[in-house]
Structure 1
Amino acid sequence: MEGLTDEEYFWEPVRDCWSIRPRGTSAAPVSEGPGAWTMDFASPDPVPAPVTTIAWRLAHIIVSCLGYRVGWYFGGQDVDSGTFAYAGTAGEALKQLDEMYGRWNAGVRELSDADLENPPTGGPERFPMENRVLHVNRELIHHGAEISLLRDLYRRQDGAVPHRI
């Protein structure tokens, strides 16, 4: 994520993207968040699902992938998509990511073999904790790869017409 700019963070590669937006500017069915910035959302998800910006994907990782589970499994401040203060800059989002990943990583490192074999004591999920750790790590890899692809596409916006065979 090194060098992520605000322009890249908010870049919309196609029309009707979901993103993090200043309060009151979203066209999405729902705008989540209590602060100056809100996250585009709908339930149920539209079909097809909208393309999402790097801002939206980082918020999803911070809140849904890490934040909920950090609160459920390791205690401390609960994180909720409706009450989370979404980042209005790339720098702020990366700080949120570092903080939440640090909390996740510290909690996972404290787990014993017995903890990993049993369902967590907190949260709604009843799979063994090792399954939950694997799931979160897959989510981080999956969404991190999507962000990397968006960064590649952002950097290659040169207006060139694709070569057709």
Structure 2
Amino acid sequence: METERVRADRLGLLLEQFDCARERAQVRLTGLSDEEYLWEPVPDCWSIRRRGEAVTPRAFGPGDWVLDQGAPYIPAGEYAEVARQAAGGMSVAKIADDWSVSVEKVEEILNHSGPPEPEVTPVTTIAWRLGHLHFGFAGEWEWTFGERRHEPKLLVDFTPSATLALERFWALIDRWRDSVGTVTDAQLDTVGFSQYPYGSNPDESYIDVLWGANLEFIHHMAEIALLRDLWQARFSARGEG
């Protein structure tokens, strides 16, 4: 019996990893209701909200619903990345611009010794996590394979409908995956092949960008899966099935 051939080239490995993660995520998101999609498990969650009702200072979106976004900061988990950027020759001013923070904040992080202080991050809804991924991958596609002129924060029309949000999200992911599948080996090594303006894409080879995109997809989908488990446990504990 002929066995399925597994790609061992660099792009093939990343694509197979993404395909596996996407397949599992799509199964885990089956049956998502609007109530669960918007469920806020604790007070002060970030979510999607009607324009004018957002609880964060930089909520964004082109339509009636916007995605919560707080003030710029560098999470403690990214301190090592800031150090790598500096070690790679990126100036403090460029790093500050990359993270949308002050030069003083970057210098503080670079001078920090010992383990980072524990960070306090908001709990987010499934709607927020999915919207965050959608906005990120839409921007990545536009600024890599598209016209590279549309503002990423205006590319996704956020919606309170779980069914519609998933339909739009998977369509976008299919387009992104198809485009990535055409990337050549030379393009993988090209610094700035992606010009996505939020982050360090213009300063990285595209294979590093793809590695980061896989990580982003996997870790946010894991968080969504946990929220689904907590939602189900919440009702099971009450005997509601």
Report TM bin, short chain: 0.7 to 0.9
Larger Rg: 2
Identify, as 1 or 2, the structure richer in helix.
2
Which of 123, 133, 138 is equivalent to 1:61? 133
Please identify runs of 4+ aligned residues in structure 1 that moved more than 6 A: none
Give 1:102 deviation, angstroms. 1.0
Residue in structure 2 matched with residue 99 of structure 1 by the alignment: 171
* Structure 2 CA distance for partners of 1:97 and 1:119, relative to 1, 3 Å: same
1:34: which partner in 2? 62
Q: Percent identity?
A: 39
One-letter amino acid of the structure 1 residue matched with residue 142 of structure 2: G
1:72 equivalent in alignment to 2:143: yes
Within the alignment, does 1:136 sit opposite 2:213 as a pair?
A: yes
How many Å separate the matches in 2 of 1:94 and 1:146? 16
In structure 2, the residue corresponding to 1:21 is in which secondary structure?
strand
Q: 1:79 to 1:147 in 2, by over 3 A?
A: farther
Q: What is the correspondence of 1:18-33 to structure 2 with a 5 Å cutoff?
A: 18-33=46-61
Q: Which amino acid aligns with 2:69?
A: F
Q: Which runs of 5+ in 2 are unaligned?
A: 1-28, 76-118
Name the structure where strand makes up a greater proportion of residues: 1
* Residue 147 (1) aligns with residue 224 (2): yes
Aligned mate of 2:182, from 105, 110, 114: 110
Aligned residues: 160
Q: Give the letter for the 2:45 counterpart.
A: C
Cα offsets for 1:25-70 (capped at 9, x unmatched) = 2222232112111111112259622110000000000012x11110
- Change beyond 3 A, Cα 1:29–1:114: same
Stretches of structure 1 lacking an aligned partner (at least 5 in a row): none
